[in-house]
Structure formats: structure tokens, C-alpha cells
């Protein structure tokens, strides 16, 4: 479970903030890396 935030900085740098619901860890990633980041963490 992730939360993705697109904010005013996203317009400038093309990145979003992703937060893990369970750990509350946050990272900032380029938009084009979001899908692979989530896929890697959702493997069962």
C-alpha cells in the first residue's frame, strides 16, 4: 500500500513523493520510475 503525491515541485522536477503506508518511509522518485518501484515491492 502506497500513497503517491504529485505536488507543485512535481511540475518543476518531474518527480513524485511515494510513502509506504506501513513503514511511513517516504522517497522522491522521477515519475517514470514509479511503476517499477511499486512492482518490485508488490511481488508475492
β-sheet with 26-30: strand ranges across: 2-5, 15-20, 26-30
Measured distance CA(13)–CA(21) in Å, rounded: 24
- Three-state secondary-structure class, residue 26: strand
Whether pTM > 0.85 for this model: the answer is no
Structural contact between residues 29 and 19, judged by C-beta atoms closer than 8 angstroms: no
Mean pLDDT value across residues 4-11? 96
What tens digit of pLDDT does each residue of 21-40 get?
A: 999 999 999 999 999 999 99
- Give strand pairing partners of 26: 19
pLDDT at residue 40, rounded to an integer: 92
Has residue 44 got a pLDDT over 80?
no
Amino acid at each position: 500500500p502506497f500513497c503517491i503525491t504529485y505536488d507543485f515541485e512535481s511540475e518543476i522536477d518531474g518527480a513524485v513523493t511515494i510513502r509506504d503506508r506501513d513503514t511511513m518511509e517516504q522517497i522522491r522518485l522521477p515519475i517514470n520510475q514509479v511503476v517499477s518501484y511499486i512492482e518490485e515491492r508488490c511481488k508475492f
